[in-house]
Structure 1
Amino acid sequence: MANNGIIAQVKGVQKITEREIRIREFRREASRLASLANKRIKRIEANSLTESPAYKRYIKDGHGKFGVKGKTYQEVQAEVARINRFINAETSTIKGINNELKSMAANTGIEYTDLKDLQKKAAKFFELSAKVAEVFKSMDDISTALDYQKIWEAVNIYTQQEGIDLADSDTKIDGMLKAVTDIIELRRANDAAMAAPKIEWFGF
């Protein structure tokens, strides 16, 4: 019986040790992922691509720099989930951001000379689009606020009509806000008129 008690104690010690080893390995991997994510953040900031959706979500969550130091095991688990959300987002890398910008340009007709030109235009483009979206969020029809494709198209129509270069650092976003919202409202009204059923009058 005494021997069985000793074996049970030894087994118990072994089980705790294995768990501790797994936790250490998890923390080590979490630290590696945090380092990877923080390097991506620095690259995004260094290239002035802070309008990236992945970066904006990172800022919005308010937790700051990724890391595991001083965190409990449960807190490290939560941090790894936050890290994975960031690094799994396409726009957490420069290449992914550029691909997203090219896709946006293709869909909305934005003209650009090279990636640097597109990146400069995109910063103002996204800033203006976000402000337009806020205007429509205050209205009853929230579906329009969520349709960024329409917003991007309206921004592009206005800038082309007025000959505005979004890459110009002197371009004032607030001055364009009303004009862009007016274009969207006009296009919505036209779409509604086209979708309305036609009434035919028959004479007798």
Structure 2
Amino acid sequence: MTGISDLASYIDHTLLKPEAQSSAIRKLCGEAKEFGFYSVCVNSGWVPLCREELQGTAVKVCAVVGFPLGASLPEVKAFEAAKAAESGAEEIDMVLAVGSLLEGNAEAVRGDIRQVVDAVKGRAIVKVILETGFLSDEQIVLACRLAEEAGAAFVKTSTGFGPGGATAEHVRLMRQSVSAAVRVKASGGVRDLETARSMIEAGAQRLGMSSGVALMSGAAGSSSY
């Protein structure tokens, strides 16, 4: 990173609270435009409003799918992803089938991801949320491999609703577990400049944050940045 604008380009500016209202979503979009964040990340029902608010800008719309549990039917995740892409989402952050992964059902996990990837092919990329707080290192490696085999563009640490959050160690492991064609997103507990920098140094190429404005404001005042 060489400047504040570089940092902003890593950030998916996120609002996933169930009580969020349209005024908060509009504010989110306004902040994304002001600071030059890469995208806004919202629940799929807010995609049309975000697309309207961000029309004519470079800020992308990202929608979460199967969120936050990952336990929906694959067909339901695929349908939600397709509708989000139809409404203007260019990125889909899906939660993988955590229970299936924990019991070692690789075929179910791979198939779940592939249905979402196929549902939005040519319209949106897919990031796969592993929910690393539930997983051993071996399970993280397996999840990364299955996500890449299924055609995902990113692997992502956490929903922010599960146990723990992103760690530099997990980001580093994820980076080592996929090819250069797949990127890594750190999300969950990334709230300050030091943590953001550690994630990027570990290999994260995107940061999911709900505190991006505070981070950017702090970075702007930091002589060491």
**Common fold by TM > 0.5:** no
Structure number having the greater strand percentage: 2
Say which one has the larger Rg.
Answer: 1
TM-score, with normalisation over the residues of structure 1? 0.20
Greater helix fraction, Structure 1 or Structure 2? 1
